[in-house]
Chains A and B, each alone.
Chain A
Amino acid sequence: MSPASVFVCLSLTLLSDYPVIRVKPDHSGVVTDGVKHSMNPFCEIAVEEAVKLKEKKFIKEVVAVSCGPTQVTETIRTALAMGCDRGIHVEVSGKDYEAMGPLQIAKIFAALAKKEEASLVILGKQAIDDDCNQTGQMTAALLDWPQGTFASEVTIDGEKVKVVREIDGGLETIKISMPAVLTADLRLNTPRYATLPNIMKAKKKKIANMKPADLGVDMVSRVEVLRVDEPPTRLAGVKVETVDDLVAKLKANGTI
């Protein structure tokens, strides 16, 4: 049985690398209004991998899925422009969106993957705004599917997937059966640009709309954010001339 459809699950993140992020005056979170949002870079890599697999004819259809408010449709369009066939937008907004975390998202993705009979679910390894690195693993657990996380190389071999994983000790190669969940790491591929003609064509591709309730998912979060603070400003270091000075200073401030 050749794999039918692959789900690529996307996240819309605050592009936290370069725009300026500041904490809200009430310390409940960061200011997101007007800040540049775009597709999570690891999710771009996931989309690229899925499209590559389709181009090599290992899979028939790539579906891009994302959860969030209306802004998220732009991200799905970009994925469609990169080569996905259709999109699914799971609408989550307002308080539900602010409280949404990896568990809720994983529940949604798991429910969708089952409903649409996906053979592969590919995600980015983590979102660059919260750096949780949990959604892929949770999705696999909820589905009771094997997982190939931190993938830097993916090869489909009949009914199985060979995944080279980047781990602390080096590279680990595993073979898992499909259906499976994969999460993309940095070196998996270089995502293609979503060119303007493709963006225009993507406007004609379908994006289905649904709500978490339609999938029977309960969005209640068991995590409560108490407070968000900026990291403390780094204090200047003190330079000393000799080892004796160093010892004296350490004694003076009670370290030794």
Chain B
Amino acid sequence: TRECLLTNAHAHTNISQAARQKNSDTFSCGLYTWRWKCSSAVTPRITSHYTICPRDKDPRWEGVEMERFADEADVVIVGGGPAGLSAAIRLKQLANEQEKELRVCLVEKASQIGAHTLSGACLEPSALNELFSDWKERGAPLNTPVTEDVFSLLTKKYRIPVPMLPGLPMNNHGNYIVRLGHFVRWLGEQAEELGVEIYPGYAAAEVLFHEDGSVKGIATNDVGIAKDGSPKDVFERGMELHAKVTLFGEGCHGHLAKQLYRQFNLRENCEPQTYAIGLKEVWLIDEKKWRPGRVEHSVGWPLNRNTYGGSFLYHLNEGEPLVALGVVVGLDYTNPYLSPFREFQRWKHHPFIAKTLEGGNRIAYGARALNEGGYQCLPKVTFPGGMLIGCSPGFMNVPKIKGTHTAMKSGMLAAEAIFPKVTAKDLASETAGLHVPEYEDNLKKSWIWKELYSVRNIRPSFHSYFGLYGGMVYTGVFYWILRGKEPWTLKHAGLDSAQLRPAKECTAIEYPKPDGKLSFDLLSSVALSGTNHEGDQPPHLTLKDDSVPVANNLAIYDGPEQRFCPAGVYEYVPLETGEGMRLQINAQNCVHCKTCDIKDPSQNINWVVPEGSGGPAYNGM
């Protein structure tokens, strides 16, 4: 990539990106002056998204119509997952019961409801029973009650069984193995029947604010911007959806939520959230090996005792011999050479797992970040004009590895708190956007709070020298016996992105080559996720500073993003001319897992939403 020193009489003094790539289609000279803060090295331009390169000063956008069409609803919900849909359903149930009019609009970035949903999953039907007591008659796809529950501690070759005593958080009696994508799709159908306006394929890209700082609603993504950031012929502005209250149910580490935390200082009294990445595959196995209703969990190999993580393998009962399996790796790991994807692939070779998969066929793959922080990391969830629901603030019960029931319940509590206020005759509110602090009060009185409080110390108990074993002992003693009533609250280790040690202090991990039968390479796995994006759009993995990846991530940590991204988005490739490397972002591969935004040691990557409909095409994941 050749660099051009570009100067212009109307010099911009923004410190912006460096040289244009020589193969840019709309190459136009003389636009920007740039200065380097740090090195004099040449960095090819990577980021062109308007959140980093503002359009108001960009001459290519002069004269482009930027007016947005706006519409009003009573409640707008961002995200069509369990939390968002449960909130929408509950709102409409209340509206129909009390014969009140209520316009509820839900926007979802996936092309269809359920296409971006990924989870194990063992569903605890508690929240569902509250939402629809007749869910069975309505055809909810809970087809696989759990029949056996197996827990193992794996070593490289062997397996130590761990008794699954009743009362342990992992015990699954009464739960159902579900394909969460199908369950969410069913919830979507119920919501539409109740009159919720659902708009899949439209991503909420921007939060809108009233003059007084309260949330006014959201704006959906613009379409028709070329890869270099210029407008195409088909450019269209997104639309504004205004509401009295906006619910943000973006799931784990939502990009709008990230903004809202800063805007309203919602995290000042809680610990920074800590996460894990979950990778999952669905296999069609040999019928002889199929045990429908069987739940298997393991800890131990291939992760060492100081890397939090474990695996799951669930036998579904939906006509075909399908199993859902995967590995979860805590993102507070310290070795930059660790690759969660490759840990997952090599775990499948363990004799206990391999015997189930041998002779089978892999039919799906995907990945997503999940919350591990629990009680200690719960932020303030209400602010003027809006609130956070579901995995976005993070109600996952980590030792149970279940978050769907609490996400649904949080959505329902939000709906119940909002409804009286939003249908009240006179909207008595200090701020233009409604503030509903009752939601947070209701949360604290509900079973979500009790549940999260009782398991709050299990995850942090892994942080001692004894790592995994310390954690298991702690769970056995304090949770099983004392039910979390101990008076202390352990702390987490801090920001996940700050946990990586420099590469030179760590040893590289030798991963086995994929054998093509049980384990596979990254690119064929990504193909199975069905992910795709419109190619000609700015990469949605934006970098605040394009020079940081090579200067910091590669230099100190040997480019961990090449390893933690489960979709092969980040690659360090040699520069076309001269020496050195550059970061190549293959944005089209992205499966929207959010791991890069979480784990980047420089916190330079800011994941923003791409054009709606892009992303994975999960079917019942």
Contacts A18-B532, A20-B619, A34-B185 known; A195 to B236 CB distance under 8 Å? yes
Residues 501-535 of chain B: 1 if any A CB is under 8 Å from the residue's CB, otherwise 0? 00000000000000000000000000110111000
9-residue interface stretch from A90-98, A113-121, A196-204, A212-220: A196-204
Is A35 part of the binding interface, using a Cβ–Cβ cutoff of 8 Å? yes
Q: Is A133 an interface residue (CB 8 A)?
A: no
The one of A15, A33, A190, A193 that contacts B223, using a Cβ cutoff of 8 Å: A193
Q: Would A22 and B530 be within 8 Å (CB), given that A195-B239, A196-B220, A200-B71 are in contact? A: no
Q: A18-B617, A193-B224, A196-B199 are in contact. Are A36 and B236 (CB under 8 A)?
A: no
Quick check: A19 and B619 within 8 Å, CB to CB?
Answer: yes
Q: Mark B70-108, 1 if CB is under 8 A from A, else 0.
A: 010000000000000000000000000000000000010
Q: A34-B620, A196-B202 are in contact. Are A190 and B236 (CB under 8 A)?
A: no
Return A133 CB to nearest CB of chain B, in Å.
24
Given A18-B531, A34-B185; A199-B224 close (CB under 8 Å): no
Which residues in A have their C-beta under 8 angstroms from that of B69? 195, 197
* Interface flag for A38 (CB, 8 Å): yes
Whether the Cβ atoms of A20 and B115 lie closer than 8 Å is no
Determine whether the beta carbon of A20 is less than 8 Å from that of B528.
yes
Cα–Cα, bound, A35→B202 (Å) = 19
- Chain B nearest Cβ from A16, distance in angstroms: 11
B610-621 interface code vs A (CB 8 A; 1 in, 0 out): 000000010110
- A residues 11-44 touching B (CB-CB < 8 Å): 15, 17-20, 22, 25, 33-36, 38
Nearest CB to that of B112 among chain A residues?
A36
Residue of A nearest to B321 (CB): A25
CB distance from A46 to the nearest CB of B (A): 16
Q: Which A residues touch B573, using CB under 8 A?
A: none
A22 to B223 CA separation, bound complex (whole angstroms): 32
Known A-B contacts A36-B115, A197-B69, A200-B71; A20 and B234 likewise in contact (beta carbons under 8 Å): no
B236 contacts across to A, CB distance below 8 A: 192-193, 195
Q: Mark B526-548, 1 if CB is under 8 A from A, else 0.
A: 01101110000000000000000
Please give me the residue from chain B that is nearest to A36 by CB atom. B617
The interface centre, meaning the residue of B185, B364, B619 with most chain A CB atoms within 10 A of its CB, is B619
User: CB-CB < 8 A to A196: which residues of B?
Assistant: 107, 199, 202, 220, 238-239
B182 at interface by CB-CB < 8 Å: yes
Q: Which of B71, B224, B528, B530 has the most CB of A within 10 A?
A: B530
Chain A residues contacting B234 (CB-CB under 8 Å) are 190-193
Q: A18-B532, A196-B199 are in contact. Are A35 and B239 (CB under 8 A)?
A: no
Q: In the complex, A12 Cα to B617 Cα: how many Å?
A: 17
Which chain B residues lie closer than 8 Å to A20 at the CB level? 363-364, 527-528, 530, 617, 619
- Chain B residue contacts of A19, Cβ below 8 A: 530, 617, 619
Whole-angstrom distance between the Cβ of B139 and the nearest chain A Cβ: 14
Q: Mark B270-281, 1 if CB is under 8 A from A, else 0.
A: 000000000000
Closest chain-B Cβ to A150's Cβ sits at a distance in Å of: 23
Q: What residues of B have a CB within 8 angstroms of the CB of A190 in the complex?
A: 233-234
Bound state CA distance, A195 and B69, in angstroms?
Answer: 10
Let me know if B169 is at the binding interface, CB within 8 A: no
CB closest chain-A residue, reference B185: A34
- State the CA gap A192–B224 with chains docked (Å): 9
What mask results when residues 179 to 192 of chain A are scored 1 for a CB within 8 Å of chain B, else 0? 00000000000111
Interface assignment of B320: CB less than 8 Å from any CB of chain A: yes
Chain B proximity of A52: nearest CB distance (Å): 12
Contacts of A18 in B (CB 8 A): 530-532, 617
A197 touches B530 (CB 8 A): no
Q: Which residue of chain A has the shortest Cβ distance to B238 in the bound complex?
A: A196
Q: Which of B182-214 contact A (CB under 8 A)?
A: 182, 185, 199, 202
Q: Which residues of A contact B528 (CB under 8 A)?
A: 20
Residues of B within 8 A of A197 (CB): 69, 71, 239
A residues in contact with B114, CB < 8 Å:
34
Closest chain B residue to A197 by CB distance?
Answer: B69
Max chain A CB contacts within 10 Å: which of B181, B238, B239? Answer: B239
Most buried by B among A15, A19, A192: A19
B442 at interface by CB-CB < 8 Å: no
Q: Considering the complex, which residues of chain A in the window 150-201 have a beta carbon less than 8 Å from any beta carbon of chain B?
A: 190-193, 195-197, 199-200
- Nearest-CB distance from B513 to chain A (Å)? 15
| CB neighbours of B182 from chain A (8 A) | 34
> CA of A163 to CA of B223 in the docked complex: distance in angstroms?
30
Asked whether, in the complex, the Cβ of A34 is within 8 Å of the Cβ of B619, the reply is: yes
- Is B239 a contact of A22 with CB atoms below 8 Å? no
Q: What total of chain A residues lie within 8 Å of the partner, measured CB to CB?
A: 21
B21 within 8 A of partner (CB):
no
- Does the CB pair A36–B530 fall under 8 Å? yes
| A49 CA / B563 CA spacing, docked (Å) | 45
CB distance from A81 to the nearest CB of B (A): 11
**CA A25 – CA B617 in complex, angstroms?**
21
Expressed in whole angstroms, the Cα–Cα distance for A196 and B71 within the complex equals: 10
Most chain B CB within 10 A, of A20, A38, A196, A197, is at: A196
Which residues of chain A are within 8 angstroms of B527 by Cβ–Cβ distance? 20
Q: Chain A residues near B531 (CB, 8 Å)?
A: 18
Measured CB to CB, the closest approach of chain B to A11, in angstroms, equals 17
Taken residue by residue from 596 to 621, chain B's Cβ proximity to chain A (1 for < 8 Å, 0 otherwise) reads as: 00000000000000000000010110
- In the bound complex, CA of A36 to CA of B363 (Å): 15
B171 within 8 A of A: no
Contacts of A35 in B (CB 8 A): 617, 619
- Check if B111 is an interface residue, CB within 8 A of chain A: yes
Q: Do A34 and B530 touch across chains, with their CB atoms under 8 A apart?
A: no
Closest B residue to A18 using CB positions: B532
Residues from chain B with a CB closer than 8 A to the CB of A191 are 234
**With a CB–CB cut-off of 8 A, which chain A residues contact B107?**
196
- Which residues of the partner chain B approach A193 to less than 8 Å between Cβ atoms? 223-224, 234, 236
Q: What is the bound-complex CA distance between A207 and B182, given in angstroms? A: 29
Q: How far is the CA of A195 from the CA of B532 in the complex (A)?
A: 20
A200 CA / B69 CA spacing, docked (Å): 11
Q: Within the complex, what minimum Cβ distance (angstroms) separates A70 from chain B?
A: 12
Known: A34-B619, A193-B223. A17 touches B239 (CB 8 A): no
Nearest opposing residue in chain B for A192, CB measure = B234
Residues of A within 8 A of B181 (CB): 34
Q: Which of A35-74 contact B (CB under 8 A)?
A: 35-36, 38
Q: How far is the CA of A17 from the CA of B234 in the complex (A)?
A: 22
Most-contacted residue by chain A among B71, B181, B220, B617 (CB, 10 A):
B617
Report the bound CA distance from A38 to B614 in whole Å. 13
Q: Which residues of B contact A33 (CB under 8 A)?
A: 619
Closest Cβ–Cβ distance, residue A233 to chain B (whole Å): 10
Question: In the bound complex, what is the Cα–Cα distance between A18 and B613 (angstroms)?
Answer: 12
| A-facing residues in B215-238 (Cβ within 8 Å) | 220, 223-224, 233-234, 236, 238
Which residues of the other chain, A, contact B532 by a CB distance below 8 angstroms?
17-18
Find chain A residues with CB under 8 A from B71 CB: 197, 200
Q: How far is the CA of A192 from the CA of B111 in the complex (A)?
A: 17
Given A18-B617, A34-B182, A196-B199, output 16 extra A-B contacts at Cβ < 8 Å: A15-B617, A18-B530, A20-B363, A20-B527, A20-B530, A33-B619, A34-B181, A34-B620, A35-B619, A38-B111, A190-B233, A195-B223, A195-B239, A196-B202, A196-B239, A197-B69
What are 28 sample pairs from A and B whose C-beta atoms fall under 8 A apart? A17-B532, A18-B530, A18-B531, A18-B532, A18-B617, A19-B530, A19-B617, A19-B619, A20-B527, A20-B528, A20-B530, A20-B617, A20-B619, A25-B320, A34-B182, A34-B185, A36-B111, A36-B112, A36-B530, A38-B111, A193-B224, A193-B234, A193-B236, A195-B236, A196-B202, A196-B220, A197-B69, A200-B71
Q: A-contacting residues of B (Cβ < 8 Å)?
A: 69, 71, 107, 111-112, 114-115, 181-182, 185, 199, 202, 220, 223-224, 233-234, 236, 238-239, 320, 363-364, 527-528, 530-532, 617, 619-620
Closest 9 CB pairs of A and B: A19-B530, A19-B617, A34-B619, A18-B532, A197-B69, A196-B239, A193-B223, A36-B617, A195-B236
